[in-house]
Amino acid sequence: MAEADKGAAVLSQDSRRRQTSWSTAEAIKGYIRDHGLTSGEPLPTETELCEVLGVSRSSVREAIRTLASLDIVQVRHGYGTYVGGLSLAPLVSGLVFRGSLNQDGTFGTLREVLQVRIALDLGVADELAAHYRGTTNSALRALVTQMRAHSRAGESFAAQDGEFHRQLLAPLDNTLVRQLVAAFWEVHTNVVPMLGIPRAADIDSTVEAHDEMLDALEAGDAEAYQQAVLRHYAPLRNAIDQALANG
Amino acid sequence: MAEADKGAAVLSQDSRRRQTSWSTAEAIKGYIRDHGLTSGEPLPTETELCEVLGVSRSSVREAIRTLASLDIVQVRHGYGTYVGGLSLAPLVSGLVFRGSLNQDGTFGTLREVLQVRIALDLGVADELAAHYRGTTNSALRALVTQMRAHSRAGESFAAQDGEFHRQLLAPLDNTLVRQLVAAFWEVHTNVVPMLGIPRAADIDSTVEAHDEMLDALEAGDAEAYQQAVLRHYAPLRNAIDQALANG
DNA sequence: GCAGATTTGTTCGTATGTATT
DNA sequence: GAATACATACGAACAAATCTG
């Protein structure tokens, strides 16, 4: 585990260099790397790791718990420990917690998340337009139809919205971008209910913007897609600005 | 801790709902929230938390370790536990580990990180241009000068590059974006050395692109800034594409 | 469905290292 | 330097969950 340790260099090295729980976590990461394990494959049992690493079970457990919270390993009670999904779940829970700390921070977090979501959506315009040019996408259109129905009935369409964005970015050859977009969508939908903001009057335009985004992409027009993305986020952006101005 | 728990819903809810170490971590988060604690403020000692939460020390310790790995709390050996910086450190370490898993994944990770960095830099163009319009920034210019000197001497200028980007985005009224940019910069600089790629011949153009970015911003020209950003990343992008094609 | 083996989860007690006063 | 408070580490025991035959 020579070079890859540098990722943990964000922490104070010297003070933690000797601590067994820290080095144990690094050792387990090294074990995964050296044995070429990938997501879902089993790790040795806790007692086996104790022997291999030469530390007590308590230390192994704390190290495993640390790695589990980062989704590097996954523990199944009574069965075993496995390599985790390496997802962005820790990012989500951290940001949601940050947003839940205080009412001011909630609005601020949402505003900041919104700007990031917009930047990411705009940043993949070219790649998406190139992929969708000349295609027809009935599954995505169906989701918009469902969204429209729910919106007119005054109901939430979060599920369909999430699925739309997930499917829309599915062809992207960039796992990180897809995970980031999904993560910030999740933070977004978790933070919004904390605010108790009234249902925006112009929420319907968000639904229609999904259709416009798809229109633009199927026409291969990246710029029109970007404009539709901005219209898509406009109602929420207005609601936040208004709330920040009033509060 | 009613609604804010949803952030943890990414994990398998039912199986973890009853586990004390999981609920203990949630309880500590609730303690922080309910007492309005902010970064740097002290938490009760482990033994006090045991009494308040009614669980054993081991469970409290594992919960604290979980939260520490998410930078929600910070433990100072022999002194006490404090509310953490709520930084994006877990994101960095997770991505660096992902990049270290295998050689193929390293290039892939770098390529993906690069696309995200570009999207974020482009996404803040308007805000930066509005802020820098008509200003002169000697500190940033000095960093570019240092970069140029190091580059011509065949040395690394990573430190100055990181500082340049950090200072450039400092005026942004968006903590999340600044942290994300810094985090991905860190992942980037940690992953690159794993590849052993030769020094690109066109690396000098990266240095000059920093000057061009600043020129554009001081002129208030967001679009010129975006072009400079793309030029800034072009050498590395070429190196990656070439490596992916050859390997 | 049941019983037993395996594995993780929780707890306690004790000894040690570390930082502050 | 001494005293105090605290975190760190270890080992052992028992509880709970899961799989296998």
- Please say whether the dihedral angle defined by the alpha carbons of residues B101, B103, B108 and B112, taken in this order, is positive or negative: positive
B70/A contact by beta carbon, under 8 A: yes
pLDDT over threshold 90, residue A208: yes
Name the residue with higher pLDDT: A154 or A82.
A82
φ, ψ dihedrals at B18, nearest 5° = -90, -15
Residues B145-196 have pLDDT tens digits of 999 999 999 888 999 999 999 999 999 999 999 999 999 999 999 888 887 7
SS3 A82: strand
Of A65, A102, A187, the CB nearest to B62: A65
Provide the percentage of residues in chain A whose pLDDT is more than 90: 72
- Is pTM beyond 0.75 here? yes
- Please say whether the dihedral angle defined by the alpha carbons of residues B147, B148, B150 and B155, taken in this order, is positive or negative: positive
- Asked if residue B47 keeps its beta carbon closer than 7 A to nucleic acid strand C, the reply is no
- Asked if residue A19 keeps its beta carbon closer than 7 A to nucleic acid strand C, the reply is no
How would residue A2 be classed by pLDDT, with cut points 50, 70 and 90? very low
SS3 A80: strand
Q: Give the separation between CA B95 and CA B98, rounded to whole angstroms.
A: 5
pLDDT over threshold 60, residue B5: no
Of A86, A89, A97, the CB nearest to B11: A89
Task: Name the average pLDDT for chain B.
Answer: 87
Residues B96-154 have pLDDT tens digits of 999 888 777 788 889 999 999 999 999 999 999 999 999 999 999 999 999 999 999 98
State the pLDDT at residue A18.
58
Average pLDDT in the B27-43 region?
Answer: 91
Under DSSP, the state recorded for A54 is T
Of A21, A77, A94, the CB nearest to B70: A94
Test A194 with B3 for CB contact under 8 angstroms: yes
Q: Give the separation between CA A60 and CA A48, rounded to whole angstroms.
A: 10
**C-beta atoms surrounding B182 within 10 Å:** 17
- Asked if residue B15 keeps its beta carbon closer than 7 A to nucleic acid strand D, the reply is yes
Strand pairing category for A73-76 and B80-83: unpaired
Q: Give the separation between CA B149 and CA B155, rounded to whole angstroms.
A: 9
Strand D positions within 7 A of protein Cβ atoms? 5-13, 16-19
State the pLDDT at residue A121.
98
**C-beta atoms surrounding A148 within 10 Å:** 17
Q: Give the separation between CA A120 and CA A117, rounded to whole angstroms.
A: 5
State the pLDDT at residue A201.
67
Q: Give the separation between CA A211 and CA B217, rounded to whole angstroms.
A: 35
**Minimal CA–CA distance to A77: which of B58, B20, B57, B10?**
B20
Of B112, B175, B194, the CB nearest to A177: B112
- Asked if residue B62 keeps its beta carbon closer than 7 A to nucleic acid strand D, the reply is no
Least confident residue range of B23-27, B91-95, B191-195: B191-195
State the pLDDT at residue B12.
40
Angle at the Cα of A94 from the Cα atoms of B81 and B113, rounded to 5 degrees: 120
Amino acid (one-letter) located at B28: I
Distance CA A69 to C1' D18 in A: 22
Residue ranges of the alpha helices (H) in chain A?
13-17, 20-34, 46-53, 57-69, 89-100, 103-123, 125-132, 138-152, 158-169, 175-191, 203-218, 222-246
Strand C positions within 7 A of protein Cβ atoms? 6-13, 17-20
Instruction: Write out the residue limits of the CATH 1.20.120 domain(s) in chain B.
Output: 89-246
Please give the structure tokens belonging to residue A136.
Answer: 């027809």
Please give the structure tokens belonging to residue A45.
Answer: 């049992």
Residue ranges of the alpha helices (H) in B192-221?
203-218
Q: Give the separation between CA A73 and CA A207, rounded to whole angstroms.
A: 39
- Residue that the structure tokens 């994006």 belong to: B88
- Please say whether the dihedral angle defined by the alpha carbons of residues B57, B63, B66 and B72, taken in this order, is positive or negative: negative
State the pLDDT at residue B18.
59
Q: Give the separation between CA B50 and CA B55, rounded to whole angstroms.
A: 5
Instruction: Write out the residue limits of the CATH 1.10.10.10 domain(s) in chain A.
Output: 3-83
Residue numbers in A near B194 (CB within 8 A): 3-4
Residue nearest to nucleotide D12 (CA to C1'): A57
State the pLDDT at residue A203.
82
Mutate to test the interface with B, among A74, A88, A96 (most CBs of B within 10 A): A96
φ, ψ dihedrals at A82, nearest 5° = -135, 160
Q: Give the separation between CA B155 and CA A241, rounded to whole angstroms.
A: 46
Angle at the Cα of A42 from the Cα atoms of A41 and A48, rounded to 5 degrees: 150
Q: Which residues lie closer than 8 Å to B87 by C-beta, 6 or more apart?
A: B71, B179
B190/A contact by beta carbon, under 8 A: yes
Distance CA A16 to C1' D12 in A: 28
- Asked if residue A136 keeps its beta carbon closer than 7 A to nucleic acid strand C, the reply is no
**Minimal CA–CA distance to A84: which of A93, A95, A99, A73?**
A73
How would residue A196 be classed by pLDDT, with cut points 50, 70 and 90? confident
State the pLDDT at residue B15.
45
Residue numbers in B near A94 (CB within 8 A): 70-72, 86, 88, 90
pLDDT over threshold 70, residue A175: yes
SS3 B125: helix
SS3 B42: strand
State the pLDDT at residue B165.
97
| Cβ(B46)–Cβ(B1) below 8 Å | no
How would residue B9 be classed by pLDDT, with cut points 50, 70 and 90? very low
Compute the count of residue pairs across chains A and B with CB atoms less than 8 Å apart. Answer: 179
Please give the structure tokens belonging to residue B83.
Answer: 């509310």
Average pLDDT in the B50-61 region?
Answer: 89
Q: Give the separation between CA A95 and CA B177, rounded to whole angstroms.
A: 12
- Asked if residue B136 keeps its beta carbon closer than 7 A to nucleic acid strand D, the reply is no
Residues 66-85 of B, Cβ under 7 A from nucleic strand C: 76-79
Please give the structure tokens belonging to residue A151.
Answer: 């919106």
Task: Name the average pLDDT for chain A.
Answer: 88
How would residue B201 be classed by pLDDT, with cut points 50, 70 and 90? low
**C-beta atoms surrounding B228 within 10 Å:** 22
What architecture is domain A3-83?
Orthogonal Bundle (1.10)
| Cβ(A173)–Cβ(B112) below 8 Å | no
Q: Give the separation between CA A16 and CA B86, rounded to whole angstroms.
A: 19
Residues B64-80 have pLDDT tens digits of 999 999 999 999 888 89
- Residue that the structure tokens 């045991």 belong to: B50
Average pLDDT in the A141-148 region?
Answer: 96
State the pLDDT at residue A216.
98
φ, ψ dihedrals at A99, nearest 5° = -70, -25
How would residue A245 be classed by pLDDT, with cut points 50, 70 and 90? confident
Residues A57-111 have pLDDT tens digits of 999 999 999 999 999 999 999 999 999 999 999 999 999 999 988 777 788 889 9
B95/A contact by beta carbon, under 8 A: yes
* A89-246 CATH: 1.20.120
CA distances from B143 to B48, B131, B214, B222, B228 (A): 49, 19, 11, 21, 17
Under DSSP, the state recorded for B221 is -
- Residue that the structure tokens 């729910």 belong to: A150
State the pLDDT at residue A10.
35
Name the residue with higher pLDDT: A64 or A3.
A64
